[in-house]
Amino acid sequence: MKALRRAAMVLLAAIYLAALAAGWLVPAGYARQFRESPGVKPSAVFLLGTDELGRDAFARLLYGSRISLTLAPAAAALATLVGAMAGVSAGYWGGWVDTCLARLVDLFLSVPWLFLLLSVRAVLPLNVRPLESIAITFLLLGLLGWAGPARVLRAAARDIKSEDFIIQARARGASPLRLLRLHLLPNLAPIIAAQFWTSIPLFILSEANLGFLGLGVAEPVPSWGGLLAGLQNLDAVANCPWRLSPLVLLLLVMACFHLIVPMEDFSK
């Protein structure tokens, strides 16, 4: 299992490095339209063929991977940060802060995740520039996905708060900030890290679903959600199986994440 996990890490790193080197590997870029060769089969020039607009499918896959694989961790970091601030404050201070935050967490977790994303996405303007759509999509994931980490970290902070070493430090006159910095946060660090790693695959899947529904990253910028939406052209997929490459890559990346961090969060 350890070897399999290591192999998954290496594969994930290789995919991410290839995505980062997209500008060097496919200098033509993701938006250039080769009007003389729309919908061509894979060849030495176009490794995965082109789409109906003559855009290089391999370039779009690499650039899409770069966006999804960079921004999902960014959204996960944001969600974990907000969740950690809320959860640790609630767990540490208790009282009305804990009650209010617990209700807010309940509220966020009671709404089905995709319904929540859809509702808040629709509140924001739909007709935005592609770069704005990237920011909106991942800020949305980051700012709405905090409740899960907050719940876990609140429980952990409450447990640690009642440990002997915390009581002793408090008795010796340690200030709340010192307690937080020297005692609470170092003990919570592994849980915070686990929450971060667990959130990444969930956000990748969420972006894929949003993009598939036409509410994710806007064209012509590629993302895995947008590329998967292209599979809705069933005739084209049946005749050109290589168009399934975004799905295969997504599956591969998700399997790697699955091997590295078990996906235990049930709520999304």
Partner 1 sequence: MRMRARLVESFITVLLTVLLGGWIAAALVRRSPGFGIDERVIDARYSQDSIRHIREEAKTSGRGVLPDYLRFLARATTGDLGISASFHRPVAALIAERFPETMRSAGAGLALGWTAGMLLGLVAAGLSRPLFDLAAGAAASFFQCLPSSVLALAMVLAGGLGGRSAVAAVIALVIFPRVFRYARAILGRTAAAPHVLMARAKGVGPLRLLWTHILQPSAAGILALLGVSVSVAFGAAIPVEVLCDWPGLGQLAWQAALKRDLPLLVDITLVVSLLTGISGLAADIAGRSPGSQPL
**268 counts as binding partner 1 under rule CB under 8 A:** yes
- Say if CB 111 and CB 153 are below 8 A apart: no
Q: Find the part of the chain contacting partner 1 (CB under 8 A) among 62-70, 75-83, 154-162, 224-232.
A: 224-232
Residue 96 burial class via C-beta count within 10 angstroms: exposed 0-12, middle 13-18, buried 19 and up: exposed
Greatest pairwise CA separation for the chain in angstroms: 77
* C-alpha distances out from residue 5 to 256, 257, 263, Å: 8, 9, 14
Out of 106, 159, 163, 219, the residue judged to bind partner 1 by CB under 8 A: 106
- Say if CB 136 and CB 126 are below 8 A apart: no
**135 counts as binding partner 1 under rule CB under 8 A:** no
Nearer to partner 1, 161 or 199 (CB): 199
**121 counts as binding partner 1 under rule CB under 8 A:** yes
What element of type H or E holds 250?
helix 245-260
Q: Find the part of the chain contacting partner 1 (CB under 8 A) among 2-10, 33-41, 60-68, 118-126.
A: 118-126
Chain Cα centroid distance, residue 231: 21
**120 counts as binding partner 1 under rule CB under 8 A:** yes
CA gap 197, 261 in Å, rounded: 7
Q: Which two tokens stand for residue 14?
A: 């290789």
Out of 114, 135, 143, 193, the residue judged to bind partner 1 by CB under 8 A: 114
Site size for partner 1 (CB under 8 A)? 45
CA gap 87, 153 in Å, rounded: 5
**122 counts as binding partner 1 under rule CB under 8 A:** yes
Q: Find the part of the chain contacting partner 1 (CB under 8 A) among 26-34, 59-67, 81-89, 252-260.
A: 252-260
Would you give the binding string for partner 1 spanning residues 227-246, x where CB under 8 A is met? -x--xx-x--xx--------
Site residues (vs partner 1, CB under 8 A): 103, 106-107, 109-116, 118-126, 201, 205, 208-209, 212-215, 228, 231-232, 234, 237-238, 247, 250-251, 254-255, 258, 263-264, 266-268
